[in-house]
A and B are shown apart, each in its own frame.
Chain A
Amino acid sequence: MNAPPSPSPSPSPSRSPSPSPPSLAVRSLAYAYPDGTQALYGVDLTIARGERVALLGPNGAGKTTLVMHLNGILTAGHGSVSVAGLPVRPDTVKEIRRRVGLVFQDPDDQLFMPTVRDDVAFGPANMGLRGEALDHRVKHALDRVGMLDVIDRAPHHLSFGQRRRVAVATVLAMEPEILVLDEPSSNLDPFSRRELGEILRGLDITLLMVTHDLPYALELCERSLILSGGVIAADGPTRGVLADAELLAAHRLELPYGFAPPT
Chain B
Amino acid sequence: MHVPDGFFNLAVSLSAGVVAAAGVAVCLRGARRELDDRAAPMAGLVAAFIFAVQMLNFPVAAGTSGHLLGGALAAILVGPYTAVLCITVVLAVQAFFFADGGLTALGVNITLMGIVTVLVGWGVFKLIAPRRPPAVVAASFVAALVSVPVSALVFTLLFWIGGNAPIEVSTVAAAMGGVHVLIGLGEGAITALTVGAVLAVRPDLVYGARRLAPALTLRTADGEVPVAGAAAGGAPRPARPGGFMVAGIVVTALLAGVLSFFASASPDGLERVAQDQGFGSAAVDHALGSQPFADYGEAGGVPVGVAGVIGAGVTLGVGGGLFLAVRRRRPKAQV
Do A34 and B220 contact each other (CB < 8 Å), given the known contacts A73-B233, A74-B233, A112-B41?
Answer: no
Q: Across the interface, which residues of A come within 8 angstroms of B225, CB to CB?
A: 77-78
Contact: A28 with B218, CB < 8 Å?
no
* Cβ distance A126 to chain B, nearest Cβ, rounded Å: 12
B217 on the A face (CB < 8 A)? yes
Closest chain B CB from A155 CB (angstroms): 15
B235 touches A34 (CB 8 A): yes
Q: Is the CB of A31 within 8 A of B218?
A: yes
A38: which B residues are within 8 A, CB to CB? 218-219
Which residues in chain B, 243-284, are within 8 Å of chain A measured between CB atoms?
none
CB distance from A260 to the nearest CB of B (A): 39
User: Which one of B214, B221, B231, B235 lies within 8 Å of A28 (CB-CB)?
Assistant: B221
Is A116's beta carbon under 8 Å from chain B?
Answer: no
Q: Smallest Cβ distance from B216 to chain A, in angstroms?
A: 6
| Cα-based distance from A73 to B232 in the complex (angstroms) | 7
Report how far A75 CA is from B229 CA in the complex, Å: 11
Give chain A nearest CB distance to B209 CB in angstroms. Answer: 13
Chain B residues closer than 8 Å to A31, beta-carbon distance = 218
Q: Which residues of A contact B220 (CB under 8 A)?
A: 30, 41-42, 77-78
Mask, A91-115, CB within 8 Å of B = 1, is 0000000000000000000001000
Supposing A28-B221, A32-B217 touch, asked if A77 and B227 sit within 8 A by C-beta, the answer is: yes
Known A32-B227, A34-B213, A35-B204; contact A74-B218, beta-carbon cutoff 8 A: no
State which size class the interface on B falls in: 20 to 34
Type the 1/0 row for B206-240, where 1 means its CB is closer than 8 Å to any CB of A. Answer: 00000001101111111001010011111100000
| Contact A74 B232, beta carbon cutoff 8 Å | yes
Min distance, Cβ A154 to any Cβ of chain B, angstroms: 14
- The reply to whether the CB of A36 lies closer than 8 angstroms to some CB of chain B is yes
**Closest residue of chain B to A74, judged by CB?**
B231
Give chain B's interface secondary structure class. loop
B214:A36 contact, CB within 8 angstroms? yes
- Shortest Cβ distance from residue B211 to the other chain A in the assembled complex, whole angstroms: 13
Residue of B nearest to A31 (CB): B218
A184 to B: closest C-beta gap in Å: 23
Interface residues of B in 68-86 (CB under 8 A from A): none
Contacts of A78 in B (CB 8 A): 218, 220, 222, 225
Give, as a whole number of angstroms, the nearest-CB distance from A78 to chain B.
5
The chain A residue sitting closest to B230, CB to CB, is A34
Shortest B42–chain A CB gap in Å is 12
Minimum CB–CB distance for A96 against chain B, Å: 13
Write out, one digit per residue, whether chain A residues 53-88 have a CB within 8 A of any chain B CB (1) or not (0): 000000000000000000001110110000000000
Residues in B with CB closer than 8 Å to A42 are 220-221
Chain A residues positioned under 8 Å from B232 (CB to CB): 73-75
Q: How far is the CB of B228 from chain A (nearest CB, A)?
A: 10
Residues 1-37 of chain A: 1 if any B CB is under 8 Å from the residue's CB, otherwise 0?
A: 0000000000000000000000000001011101110
Expressed in whole angstroms, the Cα–Cα distance for A42 and B220 within the complex equals 7
**Which of A28, A73, A77, A112 neighbours the largest number of chain B CB atoms within 10 Å of its CB?**
A77
Residue of B with least CB distance to A76: B231
Known: A73-B232, A78-B218. Contact between A34 and B41, CB under 8 A?
no
Q: Report A-chain residues with C-beta under 8 Å of the C-beta of B231.
A: 34, 74-75, 77
Would you mind naming 29 contact pairs between A and B with Cβ atoms under 8 Å apart?
Answer: A28-B221, A30-B218, A30-B219, A31-B218, A32-B216, A32-B217, A34-B204, A34-B231, A34-B233, A34-B234, A36-B214, A36-B216, A36-B217, A38-B219, A41-B220, A41-B221, A42-B220, A42-B221, A73-B232, A74-B231, A74-B232, A74-B233, A75-B232, A77-B220, A77-B225, A78-B218, A78-B220, A78-B222, A112-B41
Residue positions of A touching B, CB distance < 8 A: 28, 30-32, 34-36, 38, 41-42, 73-75, 77-78, 112
